[in-house]
Copies of this chain bind each other. A is one copy, B any other.
Amino acid sequence: MTSDSGRAHHQLWGGRFTGALSDAAAELNRSLPVDRRLWRQDVRVAQAWVSALAVAGIIAPAEERTLADGLRRVAERLADGADAHAPDEDVHTLVERLLYEEVGEIAGKLNTGRSRNDQVATDLRLWCLEAAASVRQEVTALATVLAERASAGIDVLLPGYTHGQRAQPVRWAYVLLAHAWPLIRDLQRLNEVSDRTGELPLGAGAVAGSFVPIDRERLCEILGFRRIAANSLDVTGDRDFVADLVHALAMVSVHLSRLCGEFAVYTSSEYGFVRLDDAYSTGSSLLPQKRNPDIFELARAKSARVVAALSGLLNLLRGLPAGYSKDLQEDKAFLFDAVDTLLLTLPAVRGAIETLQPVPDRMRAALNSSLLATDLADGLAGEGVPFREAHAVVGRLVRHAEAQGIELRTITEADAAALHPSLPRLIAAVGTFEDSVERRRTTGGASREAVARQLREVRSSLAKPGGTRP
């Protein structure tokens, strides 16, 4: 077709050129190694377009049948791997070339009134909608596992930490649920992103709309979009939906990094709060005794990659004019990498959490009486001592115990009374760590009942599309 242009392969352009594209340029320009993943979407969009051309009277019913049959065969060949070593410039050229092979010159009618600009935007939105659904499913599965483990961990106490330091006793279930909620927010975010992704580009042409009187409402329905993109110049150059999705993925990855970073610490000999199952532990090539939390470390590390993808993508878009610029071709490398990374990481993390063994004895052993200091200050405050003063009094008590190398509870009555007359009595009455936890009864607190209520709410949110809370 383009024999007179000196350009060798099937190509969607070239009439106006006399020389062939150089190897170096063709290599840089070629996006097929990345965008061939869009072939299902590209064929599906082509099928819808053929139908729309027929309805608009641009192609005859027989032509429609030929093209539709051809596209079905093209899809079969692609499903069989026809994209594997294809020489084409991009996925759109690949699909058109295969269609030529199947139906001959009539294939040239496929792209009447259509441009790669609206085509790739449509393909990519479809791909994003599917990717968001897959990630949503995996996030739901992980949050569900956290909730299941939590329901078995309501009785187990351990220190709650702030600044990496023991702060107050809490429930193991409470810690697990603290990592479930961010995932529920992720579901909400993914849901919102999907809604905004559902605007149809097809029919926008290269920049100005299509000369073909296409029924875009019908296209919308056929392809499962929610509404028509309002401005064709905008929609062909718009990649906000990619940025929004990658942001949502970056948030998921940050949440995984927080969960896994914290749990990696819990697997250390020093903490020993959890023990990874063999199926999720790795060893060392030199040190025979090692039992490494590689899964957690990798999940933590991968988030740097997803966040970098977001940063790269947003910076890619900076300063580009409206409409299509070739720079936009680079969006896919970021997007695909972010999605792949999460779909690789989420199941491994879920498995690790599902199978890890909590070690309640080690958790409880980490509770020492200084974790009751706040209870003592609260007690003084309950007797009318201004809290700031109560805090200072108990601070001195802690310092005293530390200087003597003893536990808070074994300080002598006289020493305690010297700091505040009520202290001896409060120390005697402070009770167990369980008692301390049960004092945090407000909604969202660490008491048994509050945690049980919270668990119900997590489950109910996970049951709703979009993870909505009341």
Contacts and interface: CB of A to CB of B under 8 A. Distances in A.
Contact of A288 (B196, B373, B444): B373
Nearest to A470: B227
A271 interface: yes
Interface residues of A, number: 211
A181, A217, A318, most chain B CB atoms within 10 A: A318
A303 interface: yes
A17 B399 contact: yes
Contact of A327 (B174, B301, B313): B301
A interface secondary structure, majority = helix
B16 A288 contact: yes
Contacts of A106: 386
A73 to B, nearest CB: 18
Interface string A87-104: 000001000100000000
B330 A318 contact: no
Q: Count identical subunits in the complex.
A: 4
A250 B318 CA distance: 10
A248 to B, nearest CB: 9
A299 B314 CA distance: 15
A308 B282 CA distance: 30
A427 interface: no
A108, A170, A251, A297, most chain B CB atoms within 10 A: A297
Given A329-B301, A441-B213, A444-B232, A396 B15 contact: yes
Given A288-B398, A301-B327, A322-B178, A107 B211 contact: no
Contacts of A238: 181-182
Contacts of A204: 444-445
Interface in A148-162: 160-162
A440 to B, nearest CB: 3
Given A25-B282, A286-B374, 10 more contacts: A14-B392, A15-B396, A27-B348, A106-B386, A160-B323, A168-B206, A178-B234, A243-B254, A289-B395, A315-B318
Counting from the closest, the 6 A-B pairs by CB-CB distance are A15-B395, A209-B445, A108-B386, A308-B312, A13-B283, A209-B440
17 contacts: A1-B388, A15-B394, A16-B402, A107-B388, A114-B286, A161-B207, A161-B321, A181-B234, A209-B441, A211-B374, A211-B439, A240-B251, A254-B314, A270-B270, A270-B366, A305-B333, A315-B315
